[in-house]
Structures are given as structure tokens and as C-alpha cells.
Homo-oligomer: A and B are copies of this chain.
């Protein structure tokens, strides 16, 4: 049986898992075989896999936002700053005071500053594509909306490049991807992607910094939609089946 796991159980090596999730890993055999389910990186492996570790919502927005620029060596990887904002469903559906309407509404806060469990997941994946140690600075924020993640990513450029050129790099990188859209003249907003499987990425260069804005619906591209996309790939269905209406 083919399995797509939406939890965090198969995303990290056992040691990292135990450190960040504070739990013993009890399925080490399957852990070794699991493929990280980000189609834009691992499409071929996903196609042949038996067990998919579906990526976290923050990491999906962050990794897709960083991939072209770090893979092509345009930006430094030792000082990536990620300021993410998420809607409330990012925390799951549960009865908890910090998630109650009157605590969240008309409020705005940072939480788990540089200590969120999705940080090692991003570090691991960016390290794999760059062959370098990556340690992002990551601040998640809770916003009073139901759905959506917007990650604002700050990267130090290694060479002279302007917004147009960088956008061109991103467009070329993702030109065959059905669910990644790149823009430079208008930055993406959360409502552009809500209820869709798209990751929208906006690119700006300002001096020696690239500022990347990456938006997804945390419940679709950040969870169930990406799982369906992975299922389509595993089963040799059209990758967009059920995801573009």
C-alpha cells in the first residue's frame, strides 16, 4: 500500500525528530524509505515511493520561495531571514484558549521565535539542494484570518542582479511547474491563493538584498492539496487532477 503521511513523523531523521518534536520515533524502518513530498524537488522519487512525508505548511512556502535563488548560487545561504505570517487553521482545529476568537481577532503576535519545529525541515531541504549548512532565522506570526500563509524572505545577494533578472531566474526555474506562479510587478497576496493549490512567489531586489514573498493556502498546497498532488504523481494520474477546476 502506498501511504502519504500528513504528519511530521517522516520528515526528519530520527535524532532531529526527537529533538524538535520531543517524542521517540517508533518506526525507524519506514522512516529510512520515506520521500519528502515536495513535487517541485522530488517528483521522480515521489513517483516511485511507497511512503511520502507530506511537507509542513511553512516549509512549503519557504522552500519554494528560496529554491531558485539558492540553488543557482545567487544568494548567500548563511543569513536567510524568514518572517512568516499564518492564518489560524495552521494550528489545527482544536479547543484551545490561544486559538479562541477573542484572543486572535484584532490581535497580531510572533510566537516560537526561531524555535518553531518547521525550521529544521527547511534547513534540511535547503542544505540538500545547496550542499551547504543552512540555518535560517525564522519568526512565525499568527494573523486573524482563517487560511493562508505569507512568508517574507530576506536573502543577501552574492552578485549584482536586478528585480527583472531575478524574476526571470524564478520563472525559468518553475516554467514547467503546474502549481507555482511567479510575479515581479505585483506581489502576491494571500487571497490570490486561498482555496487553490498554487504557491505564488513575488520577487523584489533592493540594493544587495532579495526580498521574496511566497504565499500558499496552508490547507491546500500546505497540506491536503499537496497530498493529492503527490497521490496523482504516485499513481501516474494527471498531476493537476482534482486540483484545477
A137 proximal to B (CB < 8 A): yes
Query: How many angstroms from the CA of A145 to the CA of B106 in the assembled complex?
Result: 5
In the bound complex, CA of A144 to CA of B102 (Å) = 9
A213 at interface, CB cutoff 8 A = yes
Chain B residues within 8 Å of A109, by CB: 150, 187-190
Q: Are A93 and B100 in contact (CB under 8 A)?
A: yes
Copies, count:
4
Q: Are A100 and B100 in contact (CB under 8 A)?
A: yes
Q: Tell me how far the C-beta of A104 lies from the nearest C-beta in chain B, rounded to whole angstroms.
A: 4
Q: Which residues of B contact A146 (CB under 8 A)?
A: 101-102, 105-106
Question: In the complex, which residues of chain B have a beta carbon less than 8 angstroms from the beta carbon of A191?
Answer: 106-107
- Number of residues in A with C-beta < 8 Å to the partner? 57
Contact with B along A98-134 (1 / 0, CB 8 A): 0111111111111101110000000000000000000
Residue in A93, A207, A211 whose Cβ sees the most chain B Cβ within 10 Å:
A211
Shortest CB distance A190–B (Å): 4
Q: Which residues of B contact A97 (CB under 8 A)?
A: 93-95
User: Which residues of A pack against B, CB within 8 Å?
Assistant: 79, 81, 83, 85, 87-89, 93-97, 99-111, 113-115, 135, 137, 139, 141, 143-148, 150, 152, 154, 156, 187-191, 194-195, 202, 204, 206-207, 209, 211, 213, 245
